[in-house]
Amino acid sequence: PRLSPQCGSAEYMAPEVVEAFNEEASIYDKRCDLWSLGVILYIMLSGYPPFVGHCGSDCGWDRGEACHTCQNMLFESIQEGKYEFPDKDWAHISFGAKDLISKLLVRDAKKRLSAAQVLEHPWVQGCAPDNTLPTPIILQRNSSAKELTSFAAEAIAVNRQLTRRDEDEEEEAEEEARPIIIKATSRAMQLSPPSESKLAKRRQKSSLAKAVAAGQHLVAPLVLVADQA
């Protein structure tokens, strides 16, 4: 199915989701999740993400605060789709693991592995070596309680921006779809009783004149009463 909402943590966004976020595209499909899976595997095996963005100043981005420069740098890195397997962190990682990641972090969604192909990959089928990874130690060293809080705050900040933009778009759509209603006051739309119209009065005078001419005698004077109901 095709998707249109732009949601998710920035570091895990696929290039097509970034394009939708930047309004360069309007739809994408579930293959974006395969890209995110590649990012997760990369982090699990190394302890850090493959794509980052940092402007170099104390902008607060690492603490979850908004920084358009850092965000744009991250999105540009994702859209370029360039990443590395540094030897100091990846020399002990098997070729199969790196092969799976490289087939998931493919910019062209049509060329990525499908979920079924991932399950059939040799590394997933049990051919991965039984090695102890230093990832937990790296995560403990690089992910203190403060950094974890900052990461959560960053995700919340991005999601808050997405939610605010969705709400603004919904309000604009409601304004465009709302019908224009013109209410008339009772005073402006009040009509005179039919008996008060000039035409009715002329007809009444004409009828009275004809009756007198015909010799009809009136017992009481004729009184014209306007219906005010």
Model confidence pLDDT, tens digit, residues 11-58: 899 998 888 877 665 566 888 899 999 999 999 898 889 998 888 888
Radius of gyration for the chain, computed over Cα atoms and rounded to the nearest angstrom: 38
Q: Quick one: CA dihedral 147, 74, 17, 30, positive or negative? A: negative
How many CB atoms lie under 10 A from the CB of residue 80?
11
Q: Which amino acid belongs to residue 212?
A: V
Spatial distance between the Cα atoms of 59 and 226, rounded to a whole number of angstroms: 80
Q: What confidence score (pLDDT) does residue 106 get?
A: 95
If you average pLDDT over residues 115-124, what whole number do you get?
A: 94
Q: What confidence score (pLDDT) does residue 175 get?
A: 74
Spatial distance between the Cα atoms of 9 and 162, rounded to a whole number of angstroms: 10
Q: Is the confidence at residue 185, as pLDDT, over 80?
A: no
Residue 176 and residue 183 in contact, taking contact as beta carbons nearer than 8 Å: no
Spatial distance between the Cα atoms of 66 and 163, rounded to a whole number of angstroms: 15
Alpha carbon of residue 59 to chain centroid: 26
If you average pLDDT over residues 76-94, what whole number do you get?
A: 91
Q: In the chain, what are the domain boundaries?
A: 2-177, 193-229
Alpha carbon of residue 130 to chain centroid: 43
Spatial distance between the Cα atoms of 173 and 40, rounded to a whole number of angstroms: 36
Q: Which of 54-63, 64-73, 111-120, 156-165 has the highest mean pLDDT?
A: 111-120
Q: What pTM, to 2 d.p., does this model score?
A: 0.56
Q: What confidence score (pLDDT) does residue 25 get?
A: 58
Judged by DSSP in three states, 178 sits in coil
Please give the helix or strand (H or E) that residue 160 lies within, else none: helix 145-177
Query: What proportion of the chain, given as a percentage, has pLDDT over 70?
Result: 57
If you average pLDDT over residues 208-213, what whole number do you get?
A: 63
Judged by DSSP in three states, 209 sits in helix
Listed in sequence order, the residues at least 6 apart from 199 whose beta carbon sits closer than 8 Å to its beta carbon are none
In 3D space, the residue among 50, 47, 33, 16 whose CA is nearest the CA of residue 118 turns out to be 33
In 3D space, the residue among 50, 33, 31 whose CA is nearest the CA of residue 98 turns out to be 50
Q: Which of 3-7, 38-42, 54-58, 64-68 has the highest mean pLDDT?
A: 38-42
**Thinking of the domain 2-177, which architecture would CATH place it in?**
Orthogonal Bundle (1.10)
Confidence category of residue 194, pLDDT binned at 50, 70, 90: low
Token readout for 89 is 């962190």
Listed in sequence order, the residues at least 6 apart from 58 whose beta carbon sits closer than 8 Å to its beta carbon are none
